Structure 1
Amino acid sequence: MAPFCILHVVITRISAYVKAQRTESETFYSLKLKAVKLEKEVQDLTVRYQTAVGDSENIRRRTQRCVEDAKIFGIQSFCKDLVEVADILEKTTECISEETEPADQKLTLEKIFRGLSLLEAKLKSVFAKHVLEKMTPIGDKHDPHEHELICHVPAGVGVQPGTVAFVRQDGYKLHGRTIRLAQVEVAVESQRRL
């Protein structure tokens, strides 16, 4: 083999080796850049995750505080209205004393009646404001979700069996939900004895 050919083979091999080294170096550098980029991305995602966890914990605490406040102060408006009812009741009871003269009893009874009338009107106003409704079930079909059956009574004239004939204690609904069942007597068909 000629020296020129050997030299050419050596140069070609060295050139290929250098090229391979350069490619390997570029690949290593490229992988290192990708690794640095991925590390930054992981750090960024970790920070975002920790922020999200912290935010959700803060929201949970705030929501819990709001729920607790709602439990405590949810009836604040209702209580404020009831205080006015208590004021009327207190003023009405001030009219009564053991030292009332017999001649003043009629005047005292009139004051009590006026006070009780005011009290009833104020209570109805408070109930209406807070959508607290008194149920009037007479004549309605018995509903165990709204009525507590106290006893059965014979159906009278114009009263259908299975309907409410008499209310012993009124029931109430708050925003359409029954909060106290009405205590009722339900009409039943009377049985004839032979």
Structure 2
Amino acid sequence: MAARCVGLARRALPALARSLRPPPRLLCTATKQKNSGPNLEEDSGPGEQKADPPSPEKVLLEEKVKLEEQLKETVEKYKRALADTENLRQRSQKLVEEAKLYGIQGFCKDLLEVADILEKATQSVPKEEVHADNPHLKSLYEGLVMTEVQMQKVFTKHGLHRLDPVGAKFDPYEHEALFHAPVEGKEPGTVALVSKVGYKLHGRTLRPALVGVVKDA
């Protein structure tokens, strides 16, 4: 009985071995996958090689150049801002100084009318009538003269100067010509007559003198 069982087992072993053997197609596929897997990088061409990452020194150098450009641009903007601020400060200071100098311009123009009246008043008094026998007129005249002198001192103190250009060369910036006429013994282009005196405030013509100008005969 035992011998029979052994014989049956021997006959069954070859068939079992054949059933466990993988088919040839699967062996070929596995062989191809095994051969192609590890060699993918080797099969790739030289143009498809992976680029190396930039070195730290190169990265730092690029950052340094970029920061230097930003710093240069910031410095230029800062310098322009300083220049604009300085120009604005100078203009503002000039405007303040001019306001201090010429802020009384309107007030001075009004006072010029008073000075003109005083001048006409003193000129209208006959000089031969001003004597001790006529004390009232003498006192009035002297008071007008003193007032006029004091007013001119105040004008000068505040930069207001009188223009009485008789015999001077005609200047269109300081004089206003009322007429032109030939005058014997006078040089053409000079002022022969002053109808109304002018005034300058700190070098700027506040009111031009009204004059008559000599012309060629």
The TM-score with structure 2 as length reference comes to 0.44
Query: Over alpha carbons, which structure has the higher Rg?
Result: 2
TM-score, structure 1 normalization: 0.48
